[in-house]
Amino acid sequence: MKMFTELPEIMTAKDISSYLGISRRRVYELFQLHPDHGGIENFEIGMSKRVLKEDLIKWIGKQKKVKQIEVS
Domain that holds residue 48: 8-71
2 domain-assigned: no
Mean pLDDT of 22-42: 97
**Environment class of 4 (CB within 10 Å of its CB; exposed 0-12, middle 13-18, buried 19+):** exposed
Quote the longest CA-to-CA distance of the chain. 43
pLDDT at 28 exceeding the cut of 90: yes
42 domain-assigned: yes
Domain total in the chain: 1
61 domain-assigned: yes
User: Residue 54 sits in a domain of what CATH number?
Assistant: 1.10.10
pLDDT at 1 exceeding the cut of 70: no
33 domain-assigned: yes
Give the integer Cα–Cα distance in Å for 24 and 41: 15
57 domain-assigned: yes
1 domain-assigned: no
Instruction: Supply the pTM of this predicted model.
Output: 0.86
